[in-house]
Every structure is written in C-alpha cells, then in structure tokens.
Amino acid sequence: QSVLTQPPSVSEAPRQRVTISCSGSNSNIGSNSVNWYQQVPGKAPKLLIYYDDLLSSGVSDRFSGSKSGTSASLAISGLQSEDEGDYYCAAWDDSLNGVVFGVGTKLTVL
C-alpha cells in the first residue's frame, strides 16, 4: 500500500479541465517536492511536472502542478483524447529514506 494517496480514477469531457490529487504526510510531501508522471498504456512513464510546479521539457503547458501542505495536485486543461492514461505522483520520503509513488490515477477522456 502506497504512502501517497490518489483517487483511482477521474474522467472528464474533451476540452474541459481535470485535477488529480495526491495526499501524503509530513515525511514526504510536507517536506519534499512533488513530481508527476504520465503513463499511457504499453509505454514507459514520462516525467510531466517536477519540483512541485516545473514543466518537464517538451511537455504541453496544459499540464500544471501545485502543492499545499501535505497535498499536491496535477491539473490538465483543454483535455484531449491523447491525455488518457495513468498518472502518478512521486516524492522523497524522509522516514523510508527512499522514493515513494502514489497508487496512480486512471484518466478517462469521455
């Protein structure tokens, strides 16, 4: 069981905006930055957002990240069918002394 909690699934219509939450604790999100990955079916994960809100090279500015306290969010605006896939948050955990991933959220574009 992951120490970072994400909703199992979210769905929204094309061209709309969706947010994916990631909840942790003081030992991870509360004291370290959050990063977000996208994984489309059959492919390797891809870095989207790092250090809470920095856009990875080549990633569309429709993606944005934010953090407050022990929670973080990934927002995707102007949804497109190609955005469908699984989204994972990740952070360093000071208690575990390692990297922790969220359980992942499956995004469906209706």
Report the first-to-last Cα separation within the chain, whole angstroms: 29
Using CB under 8 A, pick the residue from 19, 31, 39, 64 that binds other proteins: 39
If the CB atoms of residues 21 and 77 are measured against other proteins, the closer one turns out to be: 21
Is 88 an interacting residue with respect to other proteins (CB under 8 A)?
A: yes
**Residues found in the chain:** 110
Please identify which residue in 20, 63, 104, 109 interacts with other proteins, judged by CB under 8 A.
Answer: 104
Tokens of 19: 């947010």
CB of residue 14 vs other proteins: minimum separation in angstroms?
Answer: 26
Q: What is the rounded distance in angstroms from the CA atom of residue 40 to the CA atom of residue 95? A: 31
Rule CB under 8 A: say whether 59 interacts with other proteins: no
| Residue 27 binding other proteins, by CB under 8 A | no
What phi and psi values does residue 13 have, to the nearest 5 degrees?
Answer: -80, 160
Kind and range of the H or E run holding 53: none
Among 5, 12, 19, 45, which residue interacts with other proteins (rule: CB under 8 A)? Answer: 45
Is the Cα dihedral 107, 17, 4, 23 positive or negative? Answer: negative
Fill in the DSSP letter of residue 56: P
Q: Is 40 in the site for other proteins (CB under 8 A)?
A: no
**Site for other proteins, rule CB under 8 A:** 2, 32-33, 35, 37, 39, 44-47, 50-51, 56-57, 86, 88, 90-92, 96-104
